[in-house]
Amino acid sequence: MEKLIICGSEGKCGKEVYKLLKEKGYEILATVNKDSTPLKEILDKFNDVDYVIDFTNKEVALNHINLCIDRKISFICGTTGFNQDELDIIKEKCKNYRVKGIICPNFAIPMNIIINNFKVLSNSFDSCLIKEIHHLSKLDKPSGTAKTLIKKASCKTDVISLTSNDNIVQYLIQFDSKYAKMEIAYEVYNKTIYAYGVYYYLRHLDDNIFNNLIAY
């Protein structure tokens, strides 16, 4: 089993990732959270870290990713909010340092299947409307998932981003043309589904099912 450090293990997604990977027998060397020992100091203590997993916020995650690349440690990042310039810099640095890393806006396997096939699906229609609902605490609107779908789209695509007190995440994707219509409804009731995505990734490192924003 790989040896891991989990950043953001007390957050909504991070705690589910921590719980599941602990149950599955992974060796979690340390965790990094607000007011805890910084990642840099933790990395100074260990010479055999296989992966740093990050579910924090963009500013913190960016610092963590750069630390990982500098030390040639692979990373898994589920934090969103990176702009294209930041992603391009990370991608180039990963190339130069030969570090394997993934930044994925959504680790739910069903959503990645939709993302991977979105270009072909949208090519059959004239327009697409993505309606998404997230909790009030969601900072980036549209979400990283919606932005990724827009980039993949082959037809005119619009996004409506709404917020709710409910913790249920909802996506309704509506395709339309003069010949046909199609809807995809996807709801997430528990963030454990993202943890299972991280677990799947660790077991299938060469599987490109996940939308890696810095893949090269």
> What CATH number does the domain containing 52 carry?
3.40.50.720
Give the mean model confidence (pLDDT) for residues 72-81: 94
Side-chain-facing half-sphere of 68: CA atoms under 13 Å: 30
Token readout for 177 is: 């043309």
pLDDT at 139: 72
Same domain for 77 and 166?
no
Q: Is 156 a catalytic residue?
A: no
Same domain for 156 and 90?
no
Residue 153 lies in a domain: yes
Give the mean model confidence (pLDDT) for residues 146-175: 94
Q: What is the 3-state secondary structure (H, E, C) of 11-80?
A: CCCHHHHHHHHHHCCCEEEEEECCCCCCHHHHHHHCCCCCEEEECCCHHHHHHHHHHHHHCCCEEEECCC
Same domain for 184 and 118?
yes
Number of neighbours of residue 92 by Cβ within 10 angstroms: 12
For the chain, what's the residue count?
216
DSSP state, 124?
Answer: T
Same domain for 140 and 199?
no
Same domain for 63 and 135?
no
Same domain for 38 and 93?
yes
Number of domains comprising the chain? 2
Give the mean model confidence (pLDDT) for residues 129-153: 89
Q: Is the pLDDT of residue 84 over 70?
A: yes
Same domain for 11 and 60?
yes
pLDDT at 216: 52
Domain CATH for 176: 3.30.360.10
Task: For residues 30 and 10, give the distance between their C-alpha atoms in angstroms, rounded to a whole number.
Answer: 12
Same domain for 197 and 92?
yes
Omega prior to 110 cis, within 30 of 0: no
Position with higher pLDDT, 131 vs 137: 131
Give the mean model confidence (pLDDT) for residues 18-42: 96
Which one of 100, 119, 131, 138 is the catalytic residue?
138
Position with higher pLDDT, 30 vs 205: 30
Q: Is the pLDDT of residue 165 over 80?
A: yes
Which one of 134, 147, 152, 191 is the catalytic residue?
134
Indicate the pLDDT class of residue 15, thresholds 50, 70 and 90. very high
Q: Is 138 a catalytic residue?
A: yes
Same domain for 126 and 147?
yes
Give the mean model confidence (pLDDT) for residues 140-162: 93
Residue 208 lies in a domain: no
Give the mean model confidence (pLDDT) for residues 121-140: 91
Indicate the pLDDT class of residue 173, thresholds 50, 70 and 90. very high
Same domain for 85 and 158?
no
Domain membership of residue 155 as a residue range: 109-189
Closest CA to 215 of 67, 113, 90, 50: 90
Residue 211 lies in a domain: no
Residue 28 lies in a domain: yes
Task: For residues 160 and 130, give the distance between their C-alpha atoms in angstroms, rounded to a whole number.
Answer: 6
Beta bridge partners of 30: 5
